[in-house]
Every structure is written in structure tokens, then in C-alpha cells.
């Protein structure tokens, strides 16, 4: 069976950052899939399930309500390997195009207090799997160590 493109990336060299994972034509529109990589694969502990689930709820809510980007956001969700998230956006975009949006999003998560949106039995299939303190901690770490100091290495997949 043919290997899918995301499995051809050398995860041994992949650092934390924002990467264009793929671009797909859907009718007249281009959909850009971003790899929002929060952990170095196979070199540091994965995100905790509760923290990642909370990040999913907060980021998805923030992005789908964003005054500028809401109409372009298709999807935000966790990677199965628990090292980050995928963001699908309408448009032919680069990582640099969404860096300010990701800084805003992770600032929002890092400072979030209160009830987690959608964390109720009627709204979520695993509503008890939430960890707001760790979500805030992981978001702050990613924001300060990666997004606020992003370089070309954090924006282009390694060759």
C-alpha cells in the first residue's frame, strides 16, 4: 500500500512549529491543512489526553468565532500521536500567513479561565476528559517557546 504524504516526513528531525501538511483543491477552493506541532515526536512526552482535549475545545471555539477567520476555518482537531493538532483552512496559505492567528489562539488558551465550552454530557462524547490547568500550561509553553520566536525551521517541514 502506498504511504500517505504525512508518513513520509522525517519525524526524527521534526521540531515544534506550524507546517503546511497538504493543500487540496475542493471545487474552486484550496483547502490548506496545517500541522500545529506542539511536541517533538519521539523525543519528548506527548500531550496529556485531557490537556489536548481541552485545547481542542478552546481552539475550535476561538477559531470558529474569530472576527476575521471564522468563515475560513474548516476544522481544528488533535493528532492521533498526541503531539499536536491539525487546522484546515480555506485558502492557499503558508505557515507565516497563520502565525499571528496561532499566536492569538494560544494566548487565548494560555489565559483561559472558566467553564470549558462544550464540556457537558449533551455536547461532548467524553466531557470528563478535560484538564484546563495543563491545557493552559501547554499553550503557554508552545506560545513562548515556539510561536513567539518562530523561525524558518519552525515553518517548513525538514527535508
In tens, the pLDDT along 58-86 reads: 999 999 999 999 999 999 999 999 999 99
Q: Is residue 93 part of a domain?
A: yes
Q: Is residue 157 part of a domain?
A: no
Per-residue pLDDT at 22: 94
- Work out the angle at residue 51's Cα, subtended by the Cα atoms of residues 100 and 39, and round it to the nearest 5 degrees: 60
In tens, the pLDDT along 89-108 reads: 999 999 999 999 999 999 99
Q: CATH number for the domain including 105?
A: 3.30.1360.80
**Structural domain containing residue 145:** 5-152
In tens, the pLDDT along 11-32 reads: 998 999 999 999 999 999 999 9
Q: Is residue 41 part of a domain?
A: yes
- How many structural domains comprise the chain? 1
Amino acid at each position: 500500500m502506498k504511504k500517505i504524504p504525512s508518513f513520509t516526513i522525517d519525524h526524527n528531525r521534526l521540531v515544534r512549529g506550524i507546517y503546511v501538511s497538504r493543500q487540496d483543491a475542493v471545487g474552486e477552493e484550496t483547502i490548506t491543512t496545517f500541522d500545529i506541532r506542539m511536541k517533538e515526536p519521539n523525543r519528548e512526552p506527548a500531550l496529556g489526553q485531557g490537556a489536548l482535549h481541552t485545547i481542542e475545545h478552546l481552539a475550535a471555539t476561538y477559531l470558529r468565532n474569530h472576527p476575521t477567520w471564522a468563515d475560513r476555518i474548516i476544522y481544528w482537531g488533535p493528532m492521533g500521536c498526541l503531539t499536536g493538532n491539525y487546522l484546515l483552512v480555506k485558502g492557499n496559505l503558508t505557515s507565516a500567513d497563520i502565525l499571528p492567528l496561532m499566536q492569538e489562539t494560544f494566548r487565548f488558551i494560555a489565559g483561559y479561565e472558566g467553564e470549558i465550552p462544550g464540556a457537558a454530557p449533551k455536547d461532548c462524547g467524553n466531557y470528563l476528559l478535560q484538564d484546563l490547568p495543563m491545557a493552559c500550561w501547554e499553550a503557554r509553553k508552545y506560545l513562548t517557546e515556539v510561536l513567539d520566536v518562530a523561525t524558518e525551521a519552525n515553518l517548513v517541514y525538514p527535508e
